[in-house]
Amino acid sequence: MILDAVILAGGEGRRMGGRDKGLVELSGKPLVEWSLEALSRQTRPVDHILISANRNLPDYARFGSPVLRDVYPGHPGPLAGIHSALLASPAEYLLVLPCDVPFLPADLVGRLLECIEQSEAQVVVARTPDGQIHPTICMLRHDVLPSLMDRLSRQELKLSAWQESLKLQYVDFPDLAFPNLNTQDDLAVCAARLSGVDTIPMPYRPTDQNQADTPSGLTHFNANGEAHMVDVGSKVDSHRIARAVGEIRMLPTTLHLIETGSHKKGDVLGVARIAGIMASKRTADLIPLCHPIPLTSVSVDFTIDRAGSLVRCEVTAETVGRTGVEMEALTALNVALLTIYDMCKAVDRGMIMSQIRLLEKQGGKSGHWQASHTI
């Protein structure tokens, strides 16, 4: 019995800003290499590994596995990658994996294979106990190829819908067994964890008896699990500062209009700066459990990055009070970026806002916190 595997890396990477996801690096190593190493550590090895890719084929070929392109044009999605693999592989069973899941249980292959061999299922799909189904982590019989070709010919491209039309079974794996890295933020969090950095925010850790009595230590829930506004009456006033940063990527021609002030709507960054400051003062109206606080200072600064064709925004918010000012900084940041989008959408609807995050906060009982990773 022959068992082959295909790593799906042929997508357009839309949530990664159009980057070729399989070649995006996690801790200095391309995601496709993480997948290959995860397969090499399986208790039940596969016989051959194929890579489905539609761009940068020489870069994928250097990993030593055959690289396949979609037969069908236009990036139809994972069904097209599976189709190419079934055409190339004579194996009785084919394991399918996405390139953005770098960590796999060591018994993944063995458990999927055991299920499909001992049942009449045509496809077995990984599932976590919370009911989350992972259609792109599956094993299927080679004889599903005609059904797959029929779906592709009818432009019915949803993977899970095709699987449900077959004899299907699920195999349950522990929670968090398959952390998908769909965005740059997902990638950053995963990289921080790999480097040993604790990225769980302070409110998630019980620091006193009252917090320990709440579900998971979440301060915005009471002991009954009901949402409530945190009582800050017993806290003392302190000088609090928060810095947040984010960016909006755009076409070079759009960036040129902003930089030269030649946009027909006027000073894009000037309007976005005012919008961000105004938004910071309305945070409590937008975020249900935020306290209204007296802001003493809000600055919204922009940096133009011609090489990256983007505008980077940094917001610093300050107050003297009993609760933090992080949400005000983040609200100002998001509205400033949204204002840039609104003013430029007529010439560039494909702008991408990303890397939005808190950089630093000071003041209060928890003291000084600073992000320990950069993107």
Q: Tokens standing for 240?
A: 């609090």
The span from the CA of 206 to the CA of 30, in Å, is 36
Counted residue by residue, the chain has a size of: 375
* Helix %, strand %, coil % of the chain (to 5): 35, 25, 40
Which of 92, 140, 86, 109 is closest to 38 using CA atoms? 109
315: left (phi over 0), alpha (psi -120 to 50) or beta: beta
The span from the CA of 314 to the CA of 356, in Å, is 10
Q: Walk across the sheet containing 123-127 and list its strands.
A: 67-68, 48-52, 3-8, 93-98, 133-141, 123-127, 168-172
Annotated active-site positions, please? 342
**Element spanning 59, H or E:** helix 57-61
The span from the CA of 104 to the CA of 43, in Å, is 11
The span from the CA of 12 to the CA of 3, in Å, is 28
The span from the CA of 358 to the CA of 168, in Å, is 43
